[in-house]
Amino acid sequence: MIPAPVSIPGDSVGDYISDALYRRGWSLTAARKTCMVGGMLLSSVITLSAFTSNLYLVLTFFSIAYGSLGFAAPCIWSLPGDVAPTPDHVGSIGGIQNFASNLARIVITTFTGAVLALTNGSFTIPLCAAGVFCLPARVAICFLSGRSSRLRSIVVPCRRALQKRTYDQRAESFG
């Protein structure tokens, strides 16, 4: 009950800081990546909840993890608008992003259920895995993703190629 509402101010703070960095002259890529990596880094504290029996500490670690994921969320959600070649493509890219996110939710829920069944209800492995999975995400954001820039649209070249082929076919039939 407590951790989820903590993500609401985390979301607003992440949005504000990302925009503030951009207004202060940071590149859009640097402003977005800083907030995403910072949020993912701080969300790793969820692992610590596996090693304490104090309920208040567990709630604190969960709240920090939720809040920091909320901190990173505005930057993640703005990516489709940043990279879409035209405004018409934003929804499609957002849909692909949602598909990948929901697929990950299915996999991690299945993993957690399987581990709970095998370990007689121990959450230690799933909580450690959640914290550890944030590491490759941080590395990917920092080193594998490039600049946030518009993707090239392949729609216009494809239309031109189709129009040319149709024109050539019509010319051959009269020829």
DSSP the chain: --HHHHHHHHHHHHHHHHHHHHHTT--HHHHHHHHHHHHHHHHGGGGGGGG---HHHHHHHHHHHHHHHHHHHHHHHHHHHHH-SSGGGHHHHHHHHHHHHHHHHHHHHHHHHHHHHHTTS--HHHHHHHHHHHHHHHHIIIII-----PPPPSHHHHHHHHHHHHHHHHHHHH-
The pTM of this model reads: 0.74
The answer to whether 156 and 149 are in contact (CB under 8 A) is no
Crossing angle, helix 90-118 and helix 55-83, to 10 degrees? 150
Grouping H, G, I as helix, E, B as strand and the rest as coil, residue 135 is helix
Residue 33 has pLDDT above 90, yes or no: no
Task: Tell me the pLDDT band of 126, cut-offs 50, 70 and 90.
Answer: very high
Domains of the chain: 3-174 (1.20.1250.20)
Q: Is the dihedral of CA 132, 136, 137, 139 positive or negative?
A: positive
Q: Which of 83, 77, 82 is nearest to 97 (CA)?
A: 77
- pLDDT for residue 144: 64
What is the average pLDDT across 96-119? 92
Phi, psi of 59 (to 5 degrees): -65, -40
What is the average pLDDT across 103-129? 92
Least-confidence region, from 55-59, 94-98, 143-147: 143-147
pLDDT in tens, 78-95: 888 888 888 888 888 889
Mean pLDDT, the chain, integer: 82
